[in-house]
Amino acid sequence: MIIVNRQEAQSVHSLAIITKKQQSRAWEAGRSLARWLKKHNVDAVEFENEPEPNVPVLPQGVELIVVMGGDGTLLSVARHYGQLNVPILGVNVGGLGFLTEVTLDELYPAMEQVLAGRFEVEDRLPLTASLFREGSLCWREHVLNDVVINKGALARITELTTWIDEEYLTTYRADGLIVSTPTGSTAYTLSAGGPIVYPTLSHIIVIPICPHTLSNRPIILPDTCTVAITFDEKVFDVYLTLDGQVGQALQAGDRVEIRAAPYRVKLVKSPQRSYFEILRAKLGWGEIGSMRQNETQKD
């Protein structure tokens, strides 16, 4: 099921600007945007994206979050503030990103449309990852892209016993396992040979990393499923990593459970380009066709 809020939003009067910490270009762009917003009678509060646990509290009444940085910055913001039901607009300070779709050159035309309420919001599925140790919950976090279980520096195959809704699926003998959202299908999952899934779908992707058994292929599950991974006494130097940003070392007997989060992250769509335009630009699709078209025009 594709979930897109296609109703026009109300005009925006208060927003938060979150910039990538220690990136001067992002900070300067955020300051410039704050001055521009002040001229348009819009209240703006500025933050730097801080690492855990120094996450600032978002003021009440904020109607939009503008993220100045890259996809990693937006993932961090989504993890910290996604539960607040506040739309997030990603501005890429650098190249075009999959999540931070708006470039700096497009920022102010996009903001004019956003302030007037002429924008669309997509509902993206996040996941909740829970780590149980000795039968008790010891860590829980939300992710927008993926949950990754992989080995450390030693080249040793890991055994990952995997369950779907308490039914045994298989024991993967692999370098690791990725459990991804559709949003994360263009991240690590893509590099591991997984499918590209339209980002507003509500599915969970399970893909082994370099499996010992070649018949172990990616599986796409409904978002009603719970994926569980357990580890025996052989587990060594294995880590649980969320969105490539936070994680925990795993121990023998640990159990990791992954399910759909009880909310959706709201991302503002780029008014300049579609998802498929972003795919073509990032993955280099259609380059041969464009070259042939240019050659035909020259002739």
Percent of the chain topping pLDDT 70: 89
Of 270, 275, 80, residue with least CA distance to 185: 275
Its sign, for the CA torsion 131, 132, 133, 139, is positive
pLDDT in tens, 139-197: 999 999 999 999 876 656 788 999 999 999 999 999 999 999 999 999 999 999 999 99
Residue type, 56: P
Return mean pLDDT, the chain: 88
pLDDT the model gives residue 148: 97
Its sign, for the CA torsion 138, 79, 148, 207, is positive
In the chain, what are the domain boundaries?
A: 4-124+264-292, 127-260
Q: What confidence tier does 3 reach under pLDDT thresholds 50, 70, 90?
A: very low
Statement: residue 288 has pLDDT above 70 = no
Hey, which residues are catalytic here? Answer: 71
pLDDT in tens, 193-219: 999 999 999 999 999 999 999 899 999
Q: What confidence tier does 273 reach under pLDDT thresholds 50, 70, 90?
A: confident
pLDDT the model gives residue 4: 32
Statement: residue 289 has pLDDT above 60 = no
pLDDT in tens, 78-105: 999 999 999 999 999 977 689 998 999 9
Question: Thinking of the domain 4-124+264-292, which architecture would CATH place it in?
Answer: 3-Layer(aba) Sandwich (3.40)
CATH of 127-260, picked from 1.20.120.350, 2.40.70.10, 3.20.10.10, 2.60.200.30, is: 2.60.200.30
